[in-house]
Amino acid sequence: MLKRAIALALALALAPLALGAPAAGAATKTKKAATTCVVKKTKVRGRVVKKRVCRRAAAKRGPRGARGATGSQGASGPQGATGPQGATGPQGPAGPQGEAAPQAGVARYAVATGTVTTRSATYVALSGGPSLTVTVPPSGIVQVAAAVESLPDEPDIGDGAVSLYEDGVQVPGQATGQSDDGNGVCYGPDGVLFDVFGSAPGTYGTGTSFGVLGYCTTVGLPTFVVFQARAGTHVYELRYAFTTCGCGTGDHASFRNRRLWVIPQV
């Protein structure tokens, strides 16, 4: 009986140690307030197993720190794809009416009625021209007619020659001139469109026929002659020169009622 009583006393004394209680005089650990533990029960192969799970609470957020410096600019990204075509805008207002273009095949006409005089042995532009601005079509073909009057009974009047110019340059394809020795085709400087008799007052013009002593002219109504030109807008004008066959005494040439026709050909 005594042995059983001693054994029971020892068992009671050791029970707290077996259950995890601290022994007398041992240091007691203080639980952290931030940790929470729970016992979870789960079944493993039909047996109930207890498991202690502890979770530490999140630490308290400290104060916000100062804003850091801005970083350097990054490299540019690649070019994005082109966006879709935008909608068509509204119709704009109509522009002003343009000037009508000269119609091909229609004659343009200019006249200078005043009297002009020259002693120049080369072709010169005289007051009044006449001149015409013409739009030459892609064909590059123009028909030209011209006529002038010589003056009756004017003292010391001589013979003259007329030439056609385009934009200030003599039009090629006109007759070659001849001097007193008879060389060339017509009297006057090279580029004769037609001759004008000073000693025989009248109207002279294009449609040239070769007459007496090498003069090239038509008396009365002129006829059209054809020239090749560059397509585009050009200014055509008549220029004049004094000429002689050596059989007259005149020292100048005079002209009046100077007329010019130009027809662009399609």
Of 24-28, 83-87, 128-132, which range is least confident?
A: 24-28
Tell me the C-alpha to C-alpha distance, in Å, between residue 30 and each of 27, 40, 98, 232.
9, 23, 105, 111
Higher confidence at residue 63 or residue 155? 63
231: Cβ contacts below 8 Å, ≥ 6 apart? 136, 137, 138, 139, 140
| Mean per-residue pLDDT over the chain, rounded | 80
Protein fold of 118-265: Jelly Rolls (2.60.120)
Residue 129 CA to residue 125 CA, distance in Å, equals: 7
For residue range 41-74, list pLDDT tens digits in order: 888 777 888 888 787 777 778 888 898 898 899 8
- pLDDT score of 41: 81
The DSSP letter of residue 2 is: H
Q: What is the pLDDT of residue 235?
A: 96
Residue with tokens 């003599």: 170
Candidates 234, 236, 194; CA nearest to 215 is 194
How far apart (Å, rounded) are the C-alpha atoms in residues 204 and 110?
16
Q: What is the pLDDT of residues 89-138, one digit of tens each?
A: 899 899 888 655 555 568 899 999 999 999 998 999 999 999 999 999 99
Q: How many CB atoms lie within 10 A of CB 210?
A: 12
The domain spans of the chain are 118-265
On whether the CB atoms of residues 198 and 160 are closer than 8 A, the answer is yes
> How far apart are the C-alpha atoms of 147 and 162, rounded to whole Å?
9
Bridge partners (DSSP) listed for residue 110: 260
pTM of model > 0.75: no
